[in-house]
C-alpha cells in the first residue's frame, strides 16, 4: 500500500475516540491526522508521529484548511440533536474538505431508518443525517473524482439513558416514564468501542484497496447482534441493578417536561425535548431493529450483546 493519509474529525468524543484508538495499530502513525477542538486531549496516547490539528465545527476559519493534504476523511457528525444547524455545519465541513483535495469521505451517520438502503426516518435526530447523506451523493455529481461511504453507526448501548428518561445505574428509579409501552420492534444495541473498531477496520480495508472497495458511494450499517425492545432493555437494567423497574407510558408532552430531560436536549437555547419523542415512534416502526452482519465481519467475531455491555459498565 502506498502512502494514504487518513484523518478523523472530530477525533475526540465517543465514536471519534474509539475510532482513533483502533486506527493506531492499523496504520503508520505518519499517515494519520486527528483533528479536534481540543487536540491536546489526544497527546497522552497518540504517538508523536501522528499529526494533530485544531478545528471546530462552529469556527469557519478553523475548517477552511483543516483538511489540507488529506486523502480520506472520516467525518463524524456535529454533536447535537438539531436539524438545520447540524446540516449546515456538515455541508460546510464537506465543502471545505473537497476544496482541500479530499477525494473520499466516510460519514458517521446514525442507525435509524431500518435497512441502510432506506432514505426515510420519522426520527427528528436523523433528519440532519439524511440531509448530509443526500448532500454527499450530490457532491459526487458535482465532483466526479469524489466518492463517499456512509456508515450508519448503530445506536450504541451506552446511550440507553437517552431512551429511558436518563435512567442512571448508580441512582436507579423504579419507574421509567417514556412515551412508549416497551413492546414492539427492538433496538440492535451495539457497543460504542466496537463501533470504533469496526469503523477503523473499514477504513483500513478501503486504504488497502480503494479501487476494489465494495462500499463506494453506498450506505452501510454497523449494528449489534440482536434487537431488544424497550421492555427487554429495561428488564436488563432491572437485572443489573437488582431491583424491579417498570415502564410507565406517558404522553410526549409529559416526557418533554420531565426535569431531567429538558437540560439534556437544549441546544443553542432551544429545547428539543418534544422533538426527541419522535425517536419512540421510530422504534415503533422498527427503525432501530435492523441487524446487519457487517460488524461481525469487520471484527472477526460476534459483537458484544447489550446485557454484557451494561454489566461491564455497572
At 101-134, the pLDDT tens digits run: 999 999 999 999 999 999 999 999 999 999 999 9
* Contact assessment for residue 186 and residue 142, using Cβ atoms and an 8 Å cutoff: no
Does residue 93 sit in the same domain as residue 142? yes
216: in domain: yes
Does residue 28 sit in the same domain as residue 77? yes
Distance between CA atoms of residues 7 and 66, nearest Å: 10
Does residue 229 sit in the same domain as residue 284? yes
Asked if pLDDT for residue 1 goes beyond 60, the answer is no
Task: Tell me the per-residue pLDDT of 205-242, one tens digit each, with 9 for 90 and over.
Answer: 999 999 999 999 999 999 999 999 999 999 999 999 99
Where residue 66 sits, what CATH number does that domain have? 3.40.50.720
Q: Which residues pair with residue 228 across a beta bridge?
A: 187
Does residue 125 sit in the same domain as residue 166? no
Instruction: Please report, rounded to a whole number, the percentage of residues in the chain having pLDDT higher than 90.
Output: 97
pLDDT at 132 (0 to 100): 98
Asked if pLDDT for residue 254 goes beyond 60, the answer is yes
Which pLDDT band holds residue 313 (cuts at 50, 70, 90)?
A: confident
Mean pLDDT of 66-93: 97
Number of domain units in the chain: 2
Q: Which of 205, 222, 239 is the last residue of a domain?
A: 222
Q: Give me the chain's average pLDDT, please.
A: 96
Does residue 62 sit in the same domain as residue 199? yes
Which pLDDT band holds residue 314 (cuts at 50, 70, 90)?
A: low
pLDDT at 3 (0 to 100): 77
Question: Exposed (0-12), middle (13-18) or buried (19+): which is 97, by Cβ within 10 Å?
Answer: buried
pLDDT at 2 (0 to 100): 59
296: in domain: no
Q: Which domain holds residue 259?
A: 158-185+225-290+304-313
Task: Tell me the per-residue pLDDT of 181-209, one tens digit each, with 9 for 90 and over.
Answer: 999 999 999 999 999 999 999 999 999 99
Task: Tell me the per-residue pLDDT of 41-76, one tens digit each, with 9 for 90 and over.
Answer: 999 899 999 999 999 999 999 999 999 999 999 999
52: in domain: yes
Does residue 71 sit in the same domain as residue 166? no
Does residue 241 sit in the same domain as residue 217? no
Where residue 238 sits, what CATH number does that domain have? 3.90.25.10
298: in domain: no
Asked if pLDDT for residue 170 goes beyond 70, the answer is yes
Does residue 176 sit in the same domain as residue 66? no
295: in domain: no
Does residue 94 sit in the same domain as residue 124? yes
146: in domain: yes
Q: Which of 207, 222, 237 is the last residue of a domain?
A: 222
In which residue are the cell numbers 436488563 written? 236
Amino acid at each position: 500500500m502506498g502512502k494514504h493519509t487518513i484523518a478523523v474529525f472530530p477525533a475526540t468524543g465517543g465514536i471519534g475516540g474509539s475510532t482513533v484508538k483502533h486506527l493506531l495499530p492499523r496504520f503508520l502513525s505518519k499517515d494519520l491526522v486527528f483533528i479536534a477542538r481540543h487536540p491536546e486531549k489526544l497527546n497522552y496516547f497518540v504517538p508523536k508521529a501522528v499529526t494533530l490539528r485544531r478545528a471546530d465545527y462552529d469556527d469557519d476559519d478553523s475548517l477552511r484548511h483543516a483538511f489540507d493534504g488529506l486523502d480520506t476523511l472520516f467525518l463524524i457528525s456535529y454533536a447535537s440533536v438539531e436539524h438545520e444547524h447540524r446540516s449546515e455545519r456538515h455541508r460546510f465541513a464537506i465543502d471545505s474538505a473537497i476544496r482541500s483535495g479530499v477525494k473520499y469521505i466516510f460519514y458517521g451517520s446514525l442507525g435509524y431508518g431500518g435497512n441502510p438502503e432506506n432514505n426515510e426516518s420519522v426520527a427528528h435526530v436523523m433528519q440532519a443525517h439524511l440531509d448530509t447523506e443526500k448532500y454527499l451523493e450530490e457532491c459526487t455529481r458535482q465532483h466526479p473524482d469524489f466518492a463517499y461511504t456512509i456508515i450508519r453507526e448503530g445506536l450504541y448501548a451506552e446511550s440507553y439513558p437517552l431512551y429511558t428518561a436518563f435512567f442512571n445505574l448508580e441512582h436507579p428509579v423504579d419507574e421509567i416514564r417514556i412515551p412508549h409501552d416497551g413492546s414492539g420492534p427492538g433496538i440492535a444495541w451495539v457497543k460504542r468501542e466496537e463501533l470504533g473498531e469496526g469503523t477503523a477496520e473499514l477504513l483500513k480495508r478501503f486504504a488497502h484497496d480503494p479501487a476494489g472497495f465494495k462500499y463506494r458511494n453506498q450506505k452501510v450499517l454497523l449494528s449489534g447482534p440482536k434487537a431488544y425492545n424497550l421492555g427487554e432493555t429495561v428488564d436488563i437494567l432491572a437485572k443489573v441493578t437488582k431491583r424491579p423497574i417498570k415502564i410507565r407510558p406517558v404522553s410526549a408532552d409529559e416526557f418533554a417536561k420531565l426535569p431531567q430531560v429538558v437540560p439534556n436536549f437544549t441546544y443553542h437555547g432551544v429545547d428539543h425535548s418534544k422533538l426527541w419523542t419522535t425517536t419512540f415512534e421510530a422504534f415503533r416502526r422498527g427503525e432501530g431493529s435492523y441487524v446487519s452482519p457487517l460488524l461481525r465481519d469487520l471484527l472477526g467475531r460476534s459483537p458484544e450483546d447489550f446485557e454484557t455491555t451494561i454489566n461491564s459498565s455497572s
